[in-house]
C-alpha cells in the first residue's frame, strides 16, 4: 500500500507539471530534459491549507515592531481575513532576554520546534525577519525529523530555516512576506492566498535576462534554493550550507552597499556555490540610505557579477524587501525556466 501511495503521488505531481506546461502555452516540442529525477525535485510537499486551519506564529529572529496585545490582535485579524487561525505564544517575545533577537536563543528554539512538530497547526509563519534564526538551528538538528512536512512561510533572516528544512528534512517551503510586512500591506496576501489554499497549482514569473547565457534559447528544469544573500553567505561551512547542485539559486538583499554585495557574491563564487548550479535569479537588491552625493553601486555589483558567470543570470524585481512588491516564491519545488528573448519561470507551488 505504501508503494502504491508513493507512486500515486509521483503520478499526480507529474500530471500537475504537464498541466502547468500546457496551460502556459508551451508547445510539447519546446520541452527538453523534463523527466523525474533529472532537474526535478523530490522534496516532500506540504499540505494545502483549508479555512479554519491553525497557523503557528513564531519569532525566530528579531522582535516584532510592536509587542502589545493590540498588535497581536492585528496579527490574528490579518490571518483571519483569509480564513486562518493565528496561534501566538504568550511568551513569544520577551524584550531584554537577548540583545539582538525576540527572546533567548533557547526560548526561540523551543517555540519553533513546538510549531514545527505539533499536530494541531498546518503552517508556521514568521512574524518578522531581522537577525537570529541561524542561532537556533543547532537545536533543530537535535530533534527527530517531523513525520509530516509543514508549510514554512517567511523570508529575509528566515532564509536560514528554509535552507535547513530543505537540506536536512527534504521539505518544500515558500519564500513569502513575514507577517509584519502583511500588516503594512495586506494586499500582499492576494498573491499568497490562492497558493497556500491550493487554488493555484503553479506560479509564473517574468524575469529579466542579465547575461548572454540567459538570452540564449534553452529550457532548464530545476528547483529553487536560496533567499537572502547575507544568510546564504552565513550558511557556508555550516551543517545547513546551501546545496545548489543542479538548482536555480535565488538571491535578494536589503540595506547593503555595492561593495558589500560584491564581496558576498565573490565569497560564494570562490566557495564553489555557483559551480554546479543551473542558473541564478536575483530578486530585489534594495540599497541602503545614501549620503548626499554618494552613488548607489548595488546594481553595478550585480551586473558585474552576471558577466562573470557562464550560467544564466536573471533579475526578478518583484520579490524582496520592497513593501509594495514581495511575491511568494516556492522553494524546493519543481520549476521550469525558459530562456531567450522573453524569459519565463514557472514553478509548482510545492503543496498537495
The residues that are catalytic are 156, 252, 321
CA-only gyration radius of the chain, Å = 20
Other beta carbons within 10 angstroms of residue 4's beta carbon come to 8
d(CA 335, CA 20): 10
Q: Which three cell numbers stand for residue 136?
A: 537556533
CA dihedral defined by 226, 228, 230, 234, rounded to 10 degrees? -40
Give the β-pairing of 54-58 and 248-254.
unpaired
The neighbouring-strand residues paired with 227 are 251
Angle at 233 between CA 56 and CA 280, to 5 degrees: 90
Q: Does residue 288 sit in helix, strand or coil? A: coil
**CB-based contact 140:72 (threshold 8 Å):** no
Amino acid at each position: 500500500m505504501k508503494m502504491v501511495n508513493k507512486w500515486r503521488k509521483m503520478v499526480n505531481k507529474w500530471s500537475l507539471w504537464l498541466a502547468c506546461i500546457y496551460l502556459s502555452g508551451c508547445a510539447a516540442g519546446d520541452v527538453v530534459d523534463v523527466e523525474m529525477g533529472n532537474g526535478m525535485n523530490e522534496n516532500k510537499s506540504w499540505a494545502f491549507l483549508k479555512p479554519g486551519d491553525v497557523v503557528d506564529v513564531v519569532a525566530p529572529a528579531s522582535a516584532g515592531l510592536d509587542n502589545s496585545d493590540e498588535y497581536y490582535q492585528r496579527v490574528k485579524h490579518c490571518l483571519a481575513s483569509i480564513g486562518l487561525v493565528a496561534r501566538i505564544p504568550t511568551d513569544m517575545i520577551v524584550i531584554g532576554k537577548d540583545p539582538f533577537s525576540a527572546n533567548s536563543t533557547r526560548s526561540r528554539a523551543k517555540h519553533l520546534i513546538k510549531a514545527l512538530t505539533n499536530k494541531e497547526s498546518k503552517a508556521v509563519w514568521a512574524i518578522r525577519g531581522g537577525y537570529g534564526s541561524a542561532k537556533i538551528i543547532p537545536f533543530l538538528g537535535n530533534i527527530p525529523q517531523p513525520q509530516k512536512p509543514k508549510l514554512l512561510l517567511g523570508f529575509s533572516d528566515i532564509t536560514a530555516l528554509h535552507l535547513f528544512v530543505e537540506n536536512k528534512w527534504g521539505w518544500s517551503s515558500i519564500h513569502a512576506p513575514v507577517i509584519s510586512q502583511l500588516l503594512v500591506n495586506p494586499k500582499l496576501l492576494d498573491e499568497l492566498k490562492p497558493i497556500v489554499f491550493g487554488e493555484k497549482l503553479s506560479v509564473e514569473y517574468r524575469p529579466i535576462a542579465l547575461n548572454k547565457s540567459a538570452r540564449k534559447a534553452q529550457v532548464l528544469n530545476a528547483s529553487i534554493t536560496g533567499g537572502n544573500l547575507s544568510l546564504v553567505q552565513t550558511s557556508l561551512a555550516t551543517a545547513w550550507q546551501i546545496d545548489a547542485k543542479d538548482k536555480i539559486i535565488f538571491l535578494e538583499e536589503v540595506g547593503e552597499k555595492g561593495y558589500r554585495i560584491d564581496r558576498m557574491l565573490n565569497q560564494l563564487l570562490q566557495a564553489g556555490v555557483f559551480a554546479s548550479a543551473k542558473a541564478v535569479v536575483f530578486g530585489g537588491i534594495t540599497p541602503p540610505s545614501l549620503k548626499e552625493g554618494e552613488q548607489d553601486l548595488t546594481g553595478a555589483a550585480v551586473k558585474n557579477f552576471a558577466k562573470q558567470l557562464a550560467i544564466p543570470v536573471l533579475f526578478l524585481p518583484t520579490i524582496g524587501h520592497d513593501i509594495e512588491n514581495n511575491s511568494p516564491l516556492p522553494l524546493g519545488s519543481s520549476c521550469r525556466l525558459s530562456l531567450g528573448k522573453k524569459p519565463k519561470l514557472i514553478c509548482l507551488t510545492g503543496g498537495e
